[in-house]
Structure 1
Amino acid sequence: MGHLLELRSRLLKAVIAVLVVFVAMLPFANRLYAQFAAPLLSKLPAGGQLVAIDVASPFFTPVKLAFFAAVLLAMPVLLYQAWAFVAPGLYQHEKRLAKPLLVAAVALFYIGCAFAWFLVLPTVFGFLAAVTPEGVAMMTDITKYLDFVLVIFLAFGLSFELPVAVVVLVLLGVVTPAQLREARGYVVVGVFILAAIITPPDVVSQLLLAIPMCLLYELGILAGSLLRPKPAAD
Protein backbone atom coordinates (compact mmCIF):
# COMPACT_ATOMS: atom_id res chain seq x y z
CA MET A 1 0.00 0.00 0.00
CA GLY A 2 2.90 2.33 0.77
CA HIS A 3 4.31 1.85 -2.73
CA LEU A 4 0.90 2.55 -4.29
CA LEU A 5 0.51 5.74 -2.28
CA GLU A 6 3.99 6.84 -3.31
CA LEU A 7 3.21 6.07 -6.95
CA ARG A 8 -0.01 8.06 -6.75
CA SER A 9 1.84 11.00 -5.23
CA ARG A 10 4.51 10.98 -7.95
CA LEU A 11 1.94 10.67 -10.74
CA LEU A 12 -0.08 13.53 -9.27
CA LYS A 13 2.96 15.78 -9.12
CA ALA A 14 3.83 14.91 -12.73
CA VAL A 15 0.29 15.68 -13.93
CA ILE A 16 0.24 18.97 -12.02
CA ALA A 17 3.55 19.99 -13.58
CA VAL A 18 2.21 19.34 -17.09
CA LEU A 19 -1.07 21.14 -16.37
CA VAL A 20 0.69 24.21 -14.95
CA VAL A 21 2.87 24.57 -18.03
CA PHE A 22 -0.10 23.83 -20.32
CA VAL A 23 -2.29 26.49 -18.72
CA ALA A 24 0.56 29.00 -18.89
CA MET A 25 1.00 28.32 -22.62
CA LEU A 26 -2.68 28.37 -23.61
CA PRO A 27 -2.87 32.17 -24.13
CA PHE A 28 0.04 31.88 -26.56
CA ALA A 29 -1.22 28.81 -28.42
CA ASN A 30 -1.93 30.61 -31.72
CA ARG A 31 1.37 32.46 -31.61
CA LEU A 32 3.13 29.19 -30.82
CA TYR A 33 1.54 27.49 -33.80
CA ALA A 34 2.57 30.39 -36.06
CA GLN A 35 6.19 29.81 -35.03
CA PHE A 36 5.68 26.07 -35.35
CA ALA A 37 4.52 26.47 -38.97
CA ALA A 38 7.51 28.62 -39.95
CA PRO A 39 9.69 25.77 -41.36
CA LEU A 40 6.99 24.85 -43.89
CA LEU A 41 5.79 28.37 -44.69
CA SER A 42 9.34 29.50 -45.44
CA LYS A 43 9.63 26.84 -48.16
CA LEU A 44 6.25 27.40 -49.80
CA PRO A 45 6.05 29.50 -52.98
CA ALA A 46 4.69 33.05 -52.80
CA GLY A 47 1.10 33.01 -51.62
CA GLY A 48 1.37 29.51 -50.12
CA GLN A 49 -0.34 28.94 -46.82
CA LEU A 50 -1.71 26.34 -44.44
CA VAL A 51 -5.41 25.54 -44.53
CA ALA A 52 -7.94 24.30 -41.97
CA ILE A 53 -10.19 21.59 -43.41
CA ASP A 54 -12.11 20.70 -40.25
CA VAL A 55 -14.40 23.34 -38.76
CA ALA A 56 -12.94 23.14 -35.24
CA SER A 57 -9.29 22.57 -36.18
CA PRO A 58 -8.33 26.29 -35.92
CA PHE A 59 -9.10 25.99 -32.20
CA PHE A 60 -8.14 22.43 -31.31
CA THR A 61 -4.88 22.20 -33.27
CA PRO A 62 -3.05 25.05 -31.46
CA VAL A 63 -4.36 23.69 -28.15
CA LYS A 64 -3.02 20.24 -29.04
CA LEU A 65 0.35 21.77 -29.88
CA ALA A 66 0.38 23.65 -26.57
CA PHE A 67 -0.25 20.39 -24.71
CA PHE A 68 2.59 18.54 -26.42
CA ALA A 69 4.89 21.52 -25.85
CA ALA A 70 3.92 21.45 -22.17
CA VAL A 71 4.80 17.74 -21.94
CA LEU A 72 8.13 18.43 -23.64
CA LEU A 73 8.99 21.32 -21.34
CA ALA A 74 7.87 19.42 -18.24
CA MET A 75 9.86 16.31 -19.22
CA PRO A 76 12.64 16.92 -16.65
CA VAL A 77 10.01 17.05 -13.90
CA LEU A 78 8.34 13.88 -15.19
CA LEU A 79 11.62 12.01 -15.30
CA TYR A 80 12.59 13.27 -11.86
CA GLN A 81 9.33 11.95 -10.42
CA ALA A 82 9.99 8.56 -12.06
CA TRP A 83 13.54 8.61 -10.69
CA ALA A 84 12.36 9.57 -7.19
CA PHE A 85 9.99 6.59 -7.21
CA VAL A 86 12.52 3.94 -8.23
CA ALA A 87 15.69 5.37 -6.62
CA PRO A 88 15.02 4.06 -3.08
CA GLY A 89 15.09 0.51 -4.43
CA LEU A 90 18.49 0.88 -6.10
CA TYR A 91 21.91 0.11 -4.68
CA GLN A 92 24.40 2.96 -4.36
CA HIS A 93 26.49 1.87 -7.35
CA GLU A 94 23.31 1.55 -9.44
CA LYS A 95 22.36 5.11 -8.51
CA ARG A 96 25.80 6.35 -9.56
CA LEU A 97 25.30 4.80 -13.01
CA ALA A 98 21.60 5.63 -13.38
CA LYS A 99 21.89 9.37 -12.73
CA PRO A 100 24.25 10.21 -15.62
CA LEU A 101 22.33 7.87 -17.91
CA LEU A 102 19.08 9.64 -17.05
CA VAL A 103 20.61 13.05 -17.68
CA ALA A 104 22.11 11.80 -20.95
CA ALA A 105 18.75 10.37 -22.05
CA VAL A 106 16.99 13.71 -21.47
CA ALA A 107 19.75 15.68 -23.20
CA LEU A 108 19.83 13.33 -26.20
CA PHE A 109 16.06 13.52 -26.60
CA TYR A 110 16.18 17.31 -26.71
CA ILE A 111 19.16 17.21 -29.06
CA GLY A 112 17.23 14.90 -31.37
CA CYS A 113 14.25 17.28 -31.41
CA ALA A 114 16.55 20.26 -32.06
CA PHE A 115 18.27 18.36 -34.87
CA ALA A 116 14.88 17.66 -36.43
CA TRP A 117 13.74 21.29 -36.06
CA PHE A 118 16.81 23.10 -37.32
CA LEU A 119 18.05 20.70 -40.00
CA VAL A 120 15.63 17.92 -40.90
CA LEU A 121 12.36 19.84 -41.27
CA PRO A 122 13.73 22.71 -43.41
CA THR A 123 15.55 20.18 -45.60
CA VAL A 124 12.53 17.90 -45.99
CA PHE A 125 10.10 20.75 -46.70
CA GLY A 126 12.51 22.27 -49.19
CA PHE A 127 12.78 18.93 -50.97
CA LEU A 128 9.01 18.38 -51.01
CA ALA A 129 8.37 21.90 -52.28
CA ALA A 130 10.95 21.41 -55.04
CA VAL A 131 9.42 18.15 -56.30
CA THR A 132 5.81 19.40 -56.25
CA PRO A 133 4.44 18.99 -59.81
CA GLU A 134 3.90 22.16 -61.79
CA GLY A 135 0.37 23.47 -61.49
CA VAL A 136 -0.16 21.85 -58.07
CA ALA A 137 -0.58 24.19 -55.11
CA MET A 138 1.09 22.84 -51.98
CA MET A 139 -1.46 23.72 -49.26
CA THR A 140 -1.26 21.53 -46.15
CA ASP A 141 -3.95 21.09 -43.50
CA ILE A 142 -2.84 22.47 -40.12
CA THR A 143 -3.73 19.26 -38.28
CA LYS A 144 -1.91 17.05 -40.79
CA TYR A 145 1.11 19.31 -40.53
CA LEU A 146 1.11 19.09 -36.73
CA ASP A 147 0.87 15.29 -36.80
CA PHE A 148 3.66 15.11 -39.37
CA VAL A 149 6.05 17.25 -37.33
CA LEU A 150 5.22 15.49 -34.05
CA VAL A 151 6.05 12.14 -35.65
CA ILE A 152 9.37 13.59 -36.83
CA PHE A 153 10.13 14.92 -33.35
CA LEU A 154 9.26 11.61 -31.72
CA ALA A 155 11.25 9.60 -34.26
CA PHE A 156 14.41 11.68 -33.89
CA GLY A 157 14.07 12.20 -30.15
CA LEU A 158 13.77 8.46 -29.48
CA SER A 159 16.36 7.51 -32.09
CA PHE A 160 18.93 9.73 -30.41
CA GLU A 161 18.53 7.56 -27.30
CA LEU A 162 20.47 4.80 -29.08
CA PRO A 163 23.78 5.42 -27.22
CA VAL A 164 21.99 5.15 -23.86
CA ALA A 165 20.38 1.88 -24.91
CA VAL A 166 23.74 0.49 -26.05
CA VAL A 167 25.45 1.52 -22.80
CA VAL A 168 22.69 -0.07 -20.71
CA LEU A 169 23.00 -3.34 -22.62
CA VAL A 170 26.76 -3.33 -22.08
CA LEU A 171 26.47 -2.52 -18.37
CA LEU A 172 23.90 -5.29 -17.89
CA GLY A 173 26.24 -7.77 -19.56
CA VAL A 174 23.80 -8.59 -22.35
CA VAL A 175 26.40 -7.77 -25.00
CA THR A 176 30.04 -6.75 -25.11
CA PRO A 177 31.59 -3.90 -27.11
CA ALA A 178 33.36 -6.50 -29.24
CA GLN A 179 30.05 -8.17 -30.11
CA LEU A 180 28.56 -4.78 -30.98
CA ARG A 181 31.44 -4.07 -33.34
CA GLU A 182 31.01 -7.46 -35.01
CA ALA A 183 27.28 -6.77 -35.51
CA ARG A 184 27.95 -3.33 -37.02
CA GLY A 185 26.99 -4.38 -40.56
CA TYR A 186 23.67 -5.87 -39.50
CA VAL A 187 22.91 -2.82 -37.36
CA VAL A 188 23.54 -0.43 -40.27
CA VAL A 189 21.14 -2.38 -42.47
CA GLY A 190 18.57 -2.48 -39.67
CA VAL A 191 18.93 1.24 -39.04
CA PHE A 192 18.23 2.10 -42.68
CA ILE A 193 15.20 -0.20 -42.71
CA LEU A 194 13.92 1.35 -39.47
CA ALA A 195 14.46 4.85 -40.84
CA ALA A 196 12.48 3.96 -43.95
CA ILE A 197 9.59 2.76 -41.77
CA ILE A 198 9.29 5.54 -39.20
CA THR A 199 10.07 8.57 -41.36
CA PRO A 200 7.95 10.10 -44.13
CA PRO A 201 8.30 8.42 -47.53
CA ASP A 202 11.18 10.53 -48.84
CA VAL A 203 14.86 9.71 -49.14
CA VAL A 204 16.03 12.92 -47.47
CA SER A 205 14.44 12.32 -44.07
CA GLN A 206 15.47 8.66 -44.15
CA LEU A 207 19.13 9.57 -44.68
CA LEU A 208 18.98 12.34 -42.08
CA LEU A 209 17.78 9.80 -39.52
CA ALA A 210 19.84 6.78 -40.52
CA ILE A 211 23.25 8.48 -40.73
CA PRO A 212 23.09 10.06 -37.23
CA MET A 213 21.83 6.76 -35.79
CA CYS A 214 24.87 4.96 -37.20
CA LEU A 215 27.16 7.57 -35.66
CA LEU A 216 25.28 7.35 -32.35
CA TYR A 217 25.69 3.57 -32.39
CA GLU A 218 29.44 4.04 -32.63
CA LEU A 219 29.27 6.58 -29.80
CA GLY A 220 27.37 4.04 -27.70
CA ILE A 221 30.05 1.40 -28.31
CA LEU A 222 32.76 3.86 -27.26
CA ALA A 223 30.87 4.92 -24.13
CA GLY A 224 30.09 1.31 -23.26
CA SER A 225 33.76 0.40 -23.56
CA LEU A 226 34.74 3.22 -21.20
CA LEU A 227 32.01 2.56 -18.61
CA ARG A 228 32.12 -1.22 -18.67
CA PRO A 229 33.36 -2.62 -15.35
CA LYS A 230 36.87 -4.02 -15.60
CA PRO A 231 37.11 -7.76 -14.90
CA ALA A 232 38.49 -8.52 -11.46
CA ALA A 233 42.09 -9.67 -11.36
CA ASP A 234 42.77 -13.20 -10.13
Structure 2
Amino acid sequence: MDLIGHLEELRKRLILTLGIFIVFFILSFVYVQSIYNWLIKDLSIKLAILGPSDILWVYLVLSSVIALAGTIPIAAHQIWLFVRPALHKNEQKVTLAYIPALFILFILGICFGYFLIFPIVLNFLLSLSQDMFMDFFTAEKYFRFLINMTLPFGILFELPVVIMFLTSIGILNPYRLQKFRKYAYFALIVTSVLITPPDFLSDILVIIPLLFLYECSVLLSKIVYRRKQKATEQAA
Protein backbone atom coordinates (compact mmCIF):
# COMPACT_ATOMS: atom_id res chain seq x y z
CA MET A 1 0.00 0.00 0.00
CA ASP A 2 1.37 3.44 -0.94
CA LEU A 3 1.27 6.59 1.19
CA ILE A 4 -2.14 7.68 -0.13
CA GLY A 5 -3.54 4.27 0.67
CA HIS A 6 -2.20 4.46 4.24
CA LEU A 7 -3.71 7.91 4.70
CA GLU A 8 -7.07 6.71 3.36
CA GLU A 9 -7.00 3.77 5.75
CA LEU A 10 -6.09 6.04 8.66
CA ARG A 11 -8.89 8.43 7.77
CA LYS A 12 -11.40 5.58 7.74
CA ARG A 13 -10.27 4.40 11.17
CA LEU A 14 -10.45 7.92 12.60
CA ILE A 15 -13.94 8.55 11.22
CA LEU A 16 -15.23 5.27 12.64
CA THR A 17 -13.70 6.01 16.05
CA LEU A 18 -15.17 9.52 16.05
CA GLY A 19 -18.58 8.10 15.13
CA ILE A 20 -18.46 5.65 18.04
CA PHE A 21 -17.47 8.48 20.38
CA ILE A 22 -20.46 10.55 19.23
CA VAL A 23 -22.81 7.60 19.81
CA PHE A 24 -21.47 7.08 23.35
CA PHE A 25 -21.62 10.81 23.96
CA ILE A 26 -25.30 10.98 23.02
CA LEU A 27 -26.15 7.98 25.22
CA SER A 28 -24.20 9.50 28.12
CA PHE A 29 -25.91 12.84 27.64
CA VAL A 30 -29.32 11.13 27.91
CA TYR A 31 -28.40 9.55 31.27
CA VAL A 32 -26.18 12.35 32.57
CA GLN A 33 -28.56 13.25 35.41
CA SER A 34 -28.26 9.74 36.86
CA ILE A 35 -24.48 9.92 36.53
CA TYR A 36 -24.46 13.33 38.22
CA ASN A 37 -26.63 12.12 41.12
CA TRP A 38 -24.35 9.13 41.67
CA LEU A 39 -21.23 11.30 41.74
CA ILE A 40 -22.61 13.72 44.33
CA LYS A 41 -24.52 11.21 46.50
CA ASP A 42 -21.89 11.36 49.27
CA LEU A 43 -21.28 15.10 49.02
CA SER A 44 -22.39 16.86 52.19
CA ILE A 45 -23.04 20.22 50.53
CA LYS A 46 -25.20 21.22 47.58
CA LEU A 47 -23.38 22.46 44.52
CA ALA A 48 -24.18 25.90 43.14
CA ILE A 49 -24.09 27.34 39.65
CA LEU A 50 -23.23 30.90 38.67
CA GLY A 51 -25.15 30.89 35.42
CA PRO A 52 -27.10 28.75 32.95
CA SER A 53 -23.95 27.89 31.01
CA ASP A 54 -22.58 26.04 34.06
CA ILE A 55 -25.35 23.46 33.69
CA LEU A 56 -24.44 22.79 30.07
CA TRP A 57 -20.73 22.63 30.97
CA VAL A 58 -21.37 19.90 33.56
CA TYR A 59 -23.52 17.94 31.11
CA LEU A 60 -20.92 18.15 28.36
CA VAL A 61 -17.94 17.28 30.54
CA LEU A 62 -19.54 14.27 32.22
CA SER A 63 -20.85 12.97 28.90
CA SER A 64 -17.43 13.42 27.29
CA VAL A 65 -15.61 11.48 30.01
CA ILE A 66 -18.08 8.58 29.84
CA ALA A 67 -17.90 8.59 26.04
CA LEU A 68 -14.10 8.59 26.18
CA ALA A 69 -14.09 5.53 28.45
CA GLY A 70 -16.46 3.68 26.13
CA THR A 71 -14.50 4.62 23.00
CA ILE A 72 -11.09 3.47 24.26
CA PRO A 73 -11.43 -0.24 23.32
CA ILE A 74 -12.89 0.70 19.92
CA ALA A 75 -10.07 3.18 19.25
CA ALA A 76 -7.49 0.60 20.35
CA HIS A 77 -9.01 -1.98 18.00
CA GLN A 78 -8.91 0.48 15.10
CA ILE A 79 -5.23 1.19 15.81
CA TRP A 80 -4.59 -2.55 15.87
CA LEU A 81 -6.37 -3.01 12.53
CA PHE A 82 -4.28 -0.19 11.06
CA VAL A 83 -0.92 -1.71 12.10
CA ARG A 84 -1.97 -5.39 11.70
CA PRO A 85 -0.60 -5.79 8.14
CA ALA A 86 2.88 -4.95 9.43
CA LEU A 87 2.75 -7.63 12.16
CA HIS A 88 3.50 -11.35 12.05
CA LYS A 89 0.65 -13.71 12.95
CA ASN A 90 1.97 -14.40 16.45
CA GLU A 91 2.43 -10.65 17.01
CA GLN A 92 -1.13 -10.02 15.87
CA LYS A 93 -2.51 -12.41 18.49
CA VAL A 94 -0.36 -10.95 21.27
CA THR A 95 -1.11 -7.30 20.49
CA LEU A 96 -4.84 -8.01 20.15
CA ALA A 97 -4.85 -9.00 23.84
CA TYR A 98 -3.76 -5.45 24.73
CA ILE A 99 -7.16 -4.02 23.75
CA PRO A 100 -9.17 -5.23 26.79
CA ALA A 101 -6.14 -4.43 28.98
CA LEU A 102 -6.27 -0.79 27.84
CA PHE A 103 -9.92 -0.49 28.85
CA ILE A 104 -9.43 -2.27 32.19
CA LEU A 105 -6.41 -0.13 33.10
CA PHE A 106 -8.27 3.06 32.16
CA ILE A 107 -11.14 2.11 34.49
CA LEU A 108 -8.68 1.12 37.23
CA GLY A 109 -6.93 4.47 36.88
CA ILE A 110 -10.22 6.35 37.13
CA CYS A 111 -11.19 4.32 40.22
CA PHE A 112 -7.76 4.88 41.78
CA GLY A 113 -8.10 8.62 41.34
CA TYR A 114 -11.75 8.80 42.39
CA PHE A 115 -11.78 6.48 45.41
CA LEU A 116 -8.26 7.07 46.77
CA ILE A 117 -6.55 10.25 45.60
CA PHE A 118 -9.59 12.52 45.21
CA PRO A 119 -11.05 12.11 48.75
CA ILE A 120 -7.62 12.40 50.39
CA VAL A 121 -6.75 15.61 48.55
CA LEU A 122 -10.24 17.08 48.95
CA ASN A 123 -10.40 16.39 52.70
CA PHE A 124 -6.90 17.75 53.18
CA LEU A 125 -7.71 20.99 51.37
CA LEU A 126 -10.99 21.39 53.25
CA SER A 127 -9.19 20.86 56.55
CA LEU A 128 -7.03 23.90 55.76
CA SER A 129 -10.14 26.10 55.65
CA GLN A 130 -11.71 24.76 58.83
CA ASP A 131 -13.19 27.57 60.99
CA MET A 132 -11.84 30.10 58.50
CA PHE A 133 -14.08 29.96 55.44
CA MET A 134 -17.56 28.87 54.49
CA ASP A 135 -17.59 25.92 52.11
CA PHE A 136 -19.23 27.01 48.86
CA PHE A 137 -18.64 24.91 45.75
CA THR A 138 -19.85 25.68 42.28
CA ALA A 139 -20.63 22.70 40.05
CA GLU A 140 -18.01 23.79 37.52
CA LYS A 141 -15.21 24.16 40.08
CA TYR A 142 -16.07 20.88 41.81
CA PHE A 143 -16.21 18.77 38.66
CA ARG A 144 -13.16 20.45 37.17
CA PHE A 145 -11.26 19.50 40.32
CA LEU A 146 -12.75 15.97 40.23
CA ILE A 147 -11.73 15.43 36.61
CA ASN A 148 -8.21 16.76 37.25
CA MET A 149 -7.90 14.19 40.04
CA THR A 150 -9.25 11.21 38.10
CA LEU A 151 -8.99 11.45 34.30
CA PRO A 152 -5.16 11.81 34.16
CA PHE A 153 -4.84 8.58 36.15
CA GLY A 154 -7.10 6.79 33.70
CA ILE A 155 -4.83 7.87 30.86
CA LEU A 156 -1.52 7.35 32.66
CA PHE A 157 -2.48 3.89 33.95
CA GLU A 158 -2.41 2.78 30.31
CA LEU A 159 1.31 3.50 30.11
CA PRO A 160 2.40 -0.13 30.72
CA VAL A 161 0.17 -1.51 27.94
CA VAL A 162 1.19 1.24 25.50
CA ILE A 163 4.88 0.56 26.16
CA MET A 164 4.34 -3.20 25.80
CA PHE A 165 2.61 -2.62 22.47
CA LEU A 166 5.36 -0.31 21.20
CA THR A 167 7.96 -2.86 22.32
CA SER A 168 6.16 -5.69 20.53
CA ILE A 169 6.20 -3.79 17.21
CA GLY A 170 9.83 -2.75 17.63
CA ILE A 171 9.48 0.99 18.28
CA LEU A 172 10.71 0.79 21.90
CA ASN A 173 12.88 -1.56 23.90
CA PRO A 174 13.64 -1.78 27.65
CA TYR A 175 17.21 -0.59 27.26
CA ARG A 176 16.06 2.61 25.62
CA LEU A 177 13.52 3.11 28.42
CA GLN A 178 16.25 2.65 31.02
CA LYS A 179 18.53 5.05 29.20
CA PHE A 180 15.90 7.79 29.22
CA ARG A 181 14.64 7.03 32.74
CA LYS A 182 15.71 10.37 34.24
CA TYR A 183 13.98 12.29 31.44
CA ALA A 184 10.86 10.19 31.89
CA TYR A 185 10.93 10.84 35.65
CA PHE A 186 11.23 14.54 35.03
CA ALA A 187 8.29 14.50 32.57
CA LEU A 188 6.13 12.50 35.00
CA ILE A 189 6.95 14.83 37.90
CA VAL A 190 6.10 17.89 35.81
CA THR A 191 2.86 16.20 34.72
CA SER A 192 1.88 15.40 38.30
CA VAL A 193 2.55 18.99 39.41
CA LEU A 194 0.44 20.35 36.55
CA ILE A 195 -2.58 18.09 37.12
CA THR A 196 -2.75 18.46 40.92
CA PRO A 197 -3.65 21.36 43.19
CA PRO A 198 -0.68 23.47 44.38
CA ASP A 199 0.10 21.58 47.58
CA PHE A 200 2.90 19.18 48.49
CA LEU A 201 0.67 16.27 49.59
CA SER A 202 -1.20 16.13 46.31
CA ASP A 203 2.04 16.14 44.32
CA ILE A 204 3.52 13.27 46.36
CA LEU A 205 0.33 11.17 46.14
CA VAL A 206 0.41 11.47 42.37
CA ILE A 207 4.17 11.28 41.71
CA ILE A 208 4.71 7.98 43.55
CA PRO A 209 2.19 5.89 41.56
CA LEU A 210 3.35 7.46 38.28
CA LEU A 211 6.98 6.49 38.93
CA PHE A 212 5.84 3.03 39.98
CA LEU A 213 3.89 2.72 36.72
CA TYR A 214 6.97 3.64 34.71
CA GLU A 215 9.10 1.01 36.45
CA CYS A 216 6.36 -1.57 35.84
CA SER A 217 6.37 -0.53 32.20
CA VAL A 218 10.13 -1.10 31.94
CA LEU A 219 9.79 -4.54 33.53
CA LEU A 220 6.94 -5.55 31.21
CA SER A 221 8.88 -4.20 28.24
CA LYS A 222 11.77 -6.52 29.17
CA ILE A 223 9.42 -9.51 29.22
CA VAL A 224 7.94 -8.66 25.81
CA TYR A 225 11.38 -7.93 24.33
CA ARG A 226 12.85 -11.26 25.51
CA ARG A 227 9.87 -13.20 24.19
CA LYS A 228 10.19 -11.42 20.87
CA GLN A 229 13.91 -12.25 20.70
CA LYS A 230 13.21 -15.94 21.46
CA ALA A 231 10.53 -16.07 18.79
CA THR A 232 12.95 -14.51 16.28
CA GLU A 233 15.70 -17.02 17.16
CA GLN A 234 13.32 -19.97 16.84
CA ALA A 235 12.08 -18.70 13.49
CA ALA A 236 15.67 -18.41 12.27
TM bucket (normalised to shorter chain) is: 0.7 to 0.9
- The Cα shift of 1:116 comes to 0.7
Q: Find out whether 1:104 has 2:107 as its counterpart.
A: no
TM-score by length of 1: 0.77
- The Cα shift of 1:37 comes to 3.2
> 1:116·1:153 contact (CA, 8 Å) conserved in 2?
yes
TM-score by length of 2: 0.77
- The Cα shift of 1:150 comes to 2.2
What corresponds to 1:164 in structure 2? 161
> 2:72·2:102 contact (CA, 8 Å) conserved in 1?
no
SS in 2 for 1:74: helix
SS in 1 for 2:198: coil
What corresponds to 1:95 in structure 2? 92
Q: 1:226 aligns with which of 216, 223, 226?
A: 223
What corresponds to 1:32 in structure 2? 35
What corresponds to 2:81 in structure 1? 84
Q: Find out whether 1:74 has 2:71 as its counterpart.
A: yes
- The Cα shift of 1:27 comes to 3.0
Backbone CA RMSD of aligned residues: 3.3
What corresponds to 2:198 in structure 1? 201
Q: Find out whether 1:130 has 2:133 as its counterpart.
A: no
> 1:163·1:219 contact (CA, 8 Å) conserved in 2?
yes
Q: 1:63 aligns with which of 60, 65, 68?
A: 60
- Cα shift readout 1:177-211 (whole Å, capped 9, x = no counterpart): 5972x876776566444422332222333222222
Q: 2:141 aligns with which of 118, 137, 144?
A: 144
SS in 2 for 1:228: helix
How far, CA to CA, are the matches of 2:86 and 2:104 in structure 1? 25
Matches within 5 A, 1:11-50: 11-38=14-41, 41-42=43-44, 48-50=45-47
Runs of 5+ unmatched residues, structure 2: none
What corresponds to 1:45 in structure 2? none
- The Cα shift of 1:52 comes to 0.6
**Cα gap change, 1:158 to 1:20, in 2 (>3 Å):** closer
Runs of 5+ unmatched residues, structure 1: 43-47
Question: Which amino acid in the other structure matches residue 34 of structure 1?
Answer: N
How far, CA to CA, are the matches of 1:6 and 1:225 in structure 2? 32
Question: Which amino acid in the other structure matches residue 68 of structure 1?
Answer: V
Q: 1:117 aligns with which of 114, 117, 125?
A: 114
> 1:123·1:204 contact (CA, 8 Å) conserved in 2?
no
- The Cα shift of 1:153 comes to 2.6
- Cα shift readout 1:92-139 (whole Å, capped 9, x = no counterpart): 344244323444333222211111111111111111111114241121
SS in 1 for 2:51: coil
- The Cα shift of 1:213 comes to 1.9
> 2:80·2:95 contact (CA, 8 Å) conserved in 1?
no
What corresponds to 2:51 in structure 1? 54
Matches within 5 A, 1:168-183: 172=170, 174-176=172-174, 180=178
**Cα gap change, 1:112 to 1:89, in 2 (>3 Å):** same
**Cα gap change, 1:123 to 1:5, in 2 (>3 Å):** same
